[in-house]
Structure 1
Amino acid sequence: MSTLPSLSPGQAEEVRALGRRAADADGVAALSEQTLLSLAAPEGTVEHVLAYAAGRLGAYAQCQPTDGGDGEGPSVELVVDPPVRRQGLGSAVWAAVEARDPRARVWAHGALPSARGFAAARRLEPVRELHKMARPLTGADATGEAAGAATALPAGFSARTFVPGKDEAAWLETNAAAFAHHPEQGRLTLADLRERMDQPWFDPAGFIVVEADEAPGRVAAFHWTKVDPEQRATTDPAATAGEVYVVGVHPAYQGRGLARPLTALGLAHLAGLGLPEVVLYVDGDNTGALRTYSSLGFRDIMVDVMYSRAVHARV
């Protein structure tokens, strides 16, 4: 077993292949977008723990440090190759992670029974939930006339698409303000944004920004949609689902009635592409967003759970 500050291209591809094998077996991706992007991160950005079995990568964990000053440990994703599960590899990798930082928090995507059992055996308790929600897209979405999801913005606001090379700084300022207390989204940097813009799925036509007439050039709010061929629709596994990638409203413009029409604008874009379904991810403690999305017809289809031993240190 090895703990490394960076991966070679070959090692990164081994991890991707391991992730694909696990996803095929479990029906849910074991590694998130950020983890996959961080496989190529510069040395020291994240930590990688690799364990081999019979000459092939059998288990992998990635530790993303936190820098919010809140005392939280690293965010970890861990995956074990299906053919070598229950042979101690996952336990060994997690022990190596905890030895480096006992505050480590690990994601269980889909909250599968095996993951719940792994957590219970190690006295880990849930500390965060991430809900994956979905709903069908309809012709009414495409025209902006879906019930409760009209695209008309309040007076004094206008929408346009993101302009690469022009809007980066303004978007980053609004994103940081809108997600100031979010452990991942609010900390995105220009390098992070550019990394996502370099991905094959990036399409500025699906990146909607809203400006206020009183402050041209400032991003008052935004709805970034995503169409990734790897995101499968639950209604038709052979089809791609669109995604509400992130919706944000600058605190200066919150309470002005932007959230619902802004969401609808993104749904109209995705429906106009002929996609059958739209999905999104929202934190379990974001009751306002959960309420809004539920009122727009979204329903839970999966819940990711983050576990930590830190709970026990406070009791």
Structure 2
Amino acid sequence: MAHLDVRAIDSDVYLPSIISLAQELEEVEHHRALADHRWIDLTNGNTHSLTSLMALDLDTQVVAGILTRNVTSKGVEFELAVRPSYPYEVVVDTLLGTALADSAIRETPRVSLWIPNPSQERDRLYQSLGFHPDREVLQMRRPLPYEEYRPSPELAIRQFEPGIDEVSWLSVNNRAFEWHPDQGDWDMATLLERESEPWFDPAGFFVVGDHDRIQGFCWTKVHHDAHPKVGEIYVIAVDPDAAGRGLGRALLAEGMHYLGDVRGLPSIMLYVERTNHGAQALYRRFGFTLDHCDRRYVLDPSALARAER
């Protein structure tokens, strides 16, 4: 039995072990260890917005699991990643037990937890700990190339220009995603942080509209660390005032053409809320099928009260 000690991730000493955890988890379970924005915060050491704990094997100095804690005005949101070679329940109990013992948790309006591709066994585990499911995000995939691609003669689709298009892009993004809990409140700092990431490439960031008024966009991403590499429709949206003109279809086709024909990638993925039926229908028309879901669980306040006693 491993001797686990829970510690804050407050330096980059254990970052190689954390990265290897993420790689092992993706190879075994075929999904990313953490949501994109949390992984960026973790690897950038953005500790003012994100606090992370790790379960460290004292015998081997290997990180057996990590738990991120993102604190917002809506509450505390956890996300777990457990190294596949360690007992899942033990690592979860160790990390969650420490996190929920924090007195600050009792002051938050909501405690939630994201679990990628939950099995029935893991669903029962979290419900036994007092969590109940309340939100799901679907990952959809399809092979490339997209052989039905035809350039749109009606639309002038161009590439995003860093240093020029940020203000206009933020306006259309926040309008289009006003309803979305993660994407609808981006600010300039958030966008510039994404632009500073190694994977950012404006050649795969397509927009419709001039610099003062972007009407729609399709932002793609290449996962260079996946084997084989995979493309992603990272974010796609159309200004609500420009809906119904086929912009979304044209931009999606452009992104798929870029990732398949220009970059030569064999497959593509995207994420969509389970409740966004219109977007799912569009993606299915383009050949995407469900790969897996990520589920959010919310802690029952009575369970937290029992833990305090």
Tell me the TM-score normalised to structure 1 length: 0.83
Q: Which aligned pairs between 1:212-231 and structure 2 lie closer than 5 A?
A: 217-231=212-226
Residues paired across the two proteins, number: 290
Indicate which of 10, 14, 19 corresponds to 1:11: 14
The runs of at least 4 aligned residues of structure 1 exceeding 6 Å deviation read none
Partner of 2:47: 43
Partner of 2:156: 158
Distance 1:288 1:312 in 2: 36
Q: Structure 2: which 5+ runs fail to align?
A: 304-309
Cα pair distance change 1:168/1:294, threshold 3 Å: same
Tell me the TM-score normalised to structure 2 length: 0.84
Q: What is the percentage of aligned positions where both structures have the same residue?
A: 30
Partner of 1:185: 183
Distance 2:197 2:56 in 1: 30
- Cα distance, 1:311 vs structure 2: 8.8
Q: Deviations over 1:166-218 (max 9, x none)?
A: 1111111111111112111122222222222222222111100101xxx6631
Partner of 2:112: 105
Distance 1:285 1:310 in 2: 23
Q: Structure 1: which 5+ runs fail to align?
A: 146-150, 233-238
Indicate which of 278, 281, 305 corresponds to 1:291: 281
Distance 1:164 1:256 in 2: 26
Distance 1:159 1:131 in 2: 28
Distance 2:273 2:302 in 1: 22
Distance 1:60 1:243 in 2: 25
Distance 1:168 1:27 in 2: 33
Distance 1:77 1:221 in 2: 31
Cα pair distance change 1:23/1:115, threshold 3 Å: farther
Distance 1:21 1:136 in 2: 24
Distance 1:310 1:87 in 2: 20
Distance 1:280 1:243 in 2: 6
Q: Which aligned pairs between 1:1-315 and structure 2 lie closer than 5 A?
A: 1-2=5-6, 4=8, 7-39=10-42, 40-53=44-57, 54=59, 55-67=61-73, 72-86=74-88, 88-100=90-102, 101=105, 103-138=110-145, 140-141=147-148, 144-145=149-150, 151-152=151-152, 154=154, 157-211=155-209, 217-232=212-227, 239-272=228-261, 273-310=263-300
Cα pair distance change 1:113/1:23, threshold 3 Å: farther
- Cα distance, 1:121 vs structure 2: 2.4
Instruction: Check the 8 A contact 2:6/2:95 in 1, yes or no.
Output: no
